Amino acid sequence: MNLKEVSELRRRWRPEKNAVSHIYGCFVNANREIVADLDESLGRMPQEEAERYLGLLKKVLSGTLGKNLIDIVFSTQQVMDSEEHRLLTGLRSSELKDKTVRQAFYQKVIEHLEMEGDSYLLLLAHDTYDVPRRGRDGEEQEDASEEVFSYFLCCVCPLKLGKPELNYYPGDNEFHCAVSQTVAPPELGFLFPTFDDRAANIYNALFYSRKPEELHQEFIDAVFHTAPPMSAVEQRETFQSVLAEALEEDFNVEVAQGVHEQLTDRIVQHKESRDPEPLALSAREVGIILQDCGVVQERVEEFQKRCEEQFGPGAALSPANLIDTGRFELKTAQATVSVTPENSYLVETRIIDGKKYILVPAEEAVEVNGLAVRFAAE
C-alpha cells in the first residue's frame, strides 16, 4: 500500500463517514484470561463512546510506511492452504460475526502475545467500502463504483492503571479510594487484506506497531506465521554495520558526511514530490552514492554483497530507516560533537603533530553552558 491508499482508508474511520455497525473484542487480564467479551452495536452507543472506539481503531492506519506500518507478505502456499490465512479469511468473510472464529483468533493472540504483564483490550471491526471510481482528473466519482472492498482492523490497546484517588459514589453517598483503568492508544494492530491499487490484496496484511523498534515478533509469527521483518532500528544498525565492515579504513568522516547528505536529499526531494509510493533504494543505488563519495569500486562491490546477505537479494532499503535526518553527531571517548545535518560540511578531521582532531570553525558567537564567551587573544 502507498500513503494515498492508507489515507483513503483512514478517512473511512471518521465518525461522520464510517459504515461500521459493530465493535467486537475482549478484555484480557494480566493472567491471560478473558474477563469480558465485547459485542456492541456502534449505533446504540453514546456518540462520544463510539468516537473513542473508532479513534482507537483508526490509529492502526497511522504512522510512517516502512517504520510503524509494515507490509506482511503471505506466500502462495499460505494463501492456498494454511491455518493462519484460513483464520484471517474466516474473520473477513463472516464480517466478524462468527463467534467461533473470533474466539479462535482471541486464543491465538492471548497464547502468544507478550504485553509485559499488562492487561489489554483487543478490538476488531469490519468495514465494507464501496470504492468510488476515479476520473481521468483523479477526482473521485461518488456515484460510480467498480470495487467493494471488504476488510477488518484489529488493534491491541494496553490498559493503564491510574493513581489511587478518592472518588464519590452516589449510591452509597460516600467517598472511597479507587484506582482507575484507562485504555491507552494501540500498541499494535493490523489491516487485512491490504488495499493495493484500491482493491483487495489477500496476499498481504499491513501491520502497525506504535514503537518501530518493538515489532512484537511473537505476534507476527503466531498470527501471520511469516518471517518477522526487520524493525527500523535493526535496519539502521545493520546498515551501519555493513558500511563499516565493507569499507573498513575507507569509511572516514567525509564518506559518512556524503552518505548522510545524499540520503537526506533523497528523503527531502521525495517529500516535496508528494509521491504516495514509499521511498526505497536498492543496494546498487546506495553503491552509486558511495562511488560519488569517493569509495573505490572494490569496496562498493563488497558493500553491495554484504547488503544482499543481510537484507536479502533485491531488498528495498528505506532511507528514513537508515539515517537520522535530524542529527549529525561525532563521538570520542571524551567528547561528543553534534551539528545540524545541513552544517555537517563544517566538521573536519585532521592529524596535527601526530594527534587526531575534530575541527569546527567558530566564526560567530560561541556559548558555553548558555554563556557567551570570547576566544583568548592570539
318 and 71 Cβ atoms separated by less than 8 Å: no
Please name every residue paired with 70 in a beta bridge, in sequence order, or none if there are none: 207
Q: Which of 150, 194, 198, 183 is nearest to 61 (CA)?
A: 194
User: What's the pLDDT score for residue 142?
Assistant: 62
Cα of 10 vs its chain's centroid, Å? 15
Which alpha helices (H) appear in 61-209, and where do they start and end? Answer: 76-80, 83-93, 99-112
Spatial distance between the Cα atoms of 29 and 22, rounded to a whole number of angstroms? 23
User: What's the pLDDT score for residue 135?
Assistant: 63
Q: Which residues of the chain have pLDDT under 50?
A: none
Spatial distance between the Cα atoms of 283 and 312, rounded to a whole number of angstroms? 10
What residue ranges do the domains of the chain occupy? 3-157+184-223, 232-346
pLDDT digit string, tens, across residues 222-269: 999 987 778 888 888 999 898 888 888 888 888 888 888 889 888 889
Burial 228-238 (b: 16+ CB within 10 A, else e): bbbbbebbbeb
Helix (H) or strand (E) holding 257: helix 253-273
User: What's the pLDDT score for residue 136?
Assistant: 60
Q: What is the DSSP letter of 284?
A: H
Q: Is the pTM of this model over 0.85?
A: no
Residue with cell 463472516: 94
106 and 122 Cβ atoms separated by less than 8 Å: yes
Return all residues near 99 (Cβ < 8 A) that are at least 6 apart.
none
pLDDT digit string, tens, across residues 287-328: 899 988 888 899 989 998 998 888 888 888 888 888 888 888
